[in-house]
Chain A
Amino acid sequence: MEKTIETIWKEGFIKNDALVAPKLNDLYNQKSIDIVEKFKRMYKLNRIGIAAFALIIIPLSYATRMIYMGVPMCLLFVAVSFIAYKYSTQLNNIDKNKSSYEYLSTFDAWVKDMVSLNSRLSTFMYPYIFIAMALGFWHIDIEGNTLGNMFLNGFIAEFPTTYVIAGFPALLAIPFILIIAVLAFFGGKIGKWDINLVYGRIINRLDDLLSDMKELRQ
């Protein structure tokens, strides 16, 4: 009697050697390249975003009459973008001919270095952004007078006995300095959080893959 297709299928796969999975010699290599390439794409996109922001912030701040904020912010973003570009050249120099483990380890070291640099920069960056924003708001021109002067006049009228340092009331200077100090203190942490928000998932995958490969090597 002729066999049905169902029987051919069942009987054919009963033989043990019918289903031999091919070896995946290159899987880790492909995974490594995949993870690094993905990171590179994200990093490049981020860099382009920062550079684009540096470009548009000048006309934007001019339009909103906050040029005192726009210029320092533009300088900051140009500097950040330049540093990121310099760093990315190092990333491109990682030798792809190394073994997958060495390739990923070098990449991992680069990521850690980048995160550490970003944390250090953030210590200065966030207070700088705060000062730039304060400057921007302070110098907004309202009918020939600046918002800062109007605020200052109102403040001195309210607290006429306040101690003044270089034309600036101490009562205002203290919270201002305090905010800068807090931002400088937590800047590194904010920077790390920021990096984690963008690259956290890929960094975690990298850690998993590296520990997997470490185990495989043992």
Chain B
Amino acid sequence: MSNDFYTTQILPYAAIIIKICRAYTDTQEDFEDYYQEVCLQIWRSKDNFKEQSAWSTWIYRLSLNVCLTFLKKKKNNKQNASTDILPDEVLVDSRAFPDESLNELYKAIKQLSEIDRGVILLYLEEKPYQEIADIMGTNTNNIGVRIKRIKERLKKILNQSH
């Protein structure tokens, strides 16, 4: 299917979407929902892509936005469904990744704020500070300071878990 949008425009960048969706979901079911939603949003918004950035950068930005919106909706639904305050439990699907250290890292990433998760994912993907700043809508100085702080926090969480 040569002209299939999914195969040619999304699938080559699936790794980006998977990495981001995994950071914002706790179960395989949620992960698949988020992945699907991101793909759908890419398809819906493809005409808005103005080639001012790379397609992959645009996918990062869109995936982050979709995940953040989805998470917000989910939180609202939870709040509406129950007045009880839910414990801040961090779940990691055992089927998420075959590498145990990676699962531990994801578990730590999920303890960060939603924005910090986005920043660290982009950093780990070796995106330049300028690009991270563009995607997150801030400046490079802010990103530099933030990454330093996030890394320290992650290190602390990982040490505590060992």
Interface residues of A (CB under 8 A from B): 3, 5-6, 8-9, 11-13, 15, 17-22, 24, 26-27, 30-31, 34, 212, 215-216
Contacts and interface: CB of A to CB of B under 8 A. Distances in A.
Main secondary structure of the interface of A (DSSP, over half): helix
Main secondary structure of the interface of B (DSSP, over half): helix
Interface in B108-162: 124, 151, 154-155, 158
Interface residues of B, number: 31
The 5 closest A-B pairs by CB, nearest first: A12-B102, A21-B14, A12-B99, A9-B124, A22-B32
A6 B151 CA distance: 10
Contact of B102 (A6, A8, A27, A212): A8
A146 B146 CA distance: 77
A24 B124 contact: no
B36 interface: yes
Contacts of A15: 97-99
A70 to B, nearest CB: 40
B101 A11 contact: yes
A15 B101 CA distance: 12
Contacts of B15: 13, 19
Given A5-B154, A34-B44, A216-B4, A27 B98 contact: no
A31 B40 contact: yes
24 contacts: A5-B158, A8-B99, A8-B102, A8-B104, A12-B97, A12-B101, A12-B105, A13-B15, A18-B98, A19-B15, A19-B19, A20-B18, A21-B14, A21-B18, A22-B36, A24-B6, A24-B35, A24-B39, A27-B36, A27-B40, A31-B43, A212-B1, A212-B5, A216-B4
Interface of B: 1, 3-6, 11, 14-15, 17-19, 31-32, 35-36, 39-40, 43-44, 97-99, 101-102, 104-105, 124, 151, 154-155, 158
A168 B125 CA distance: 81
Contacts of A20: 18
B99 A18 contact: yes
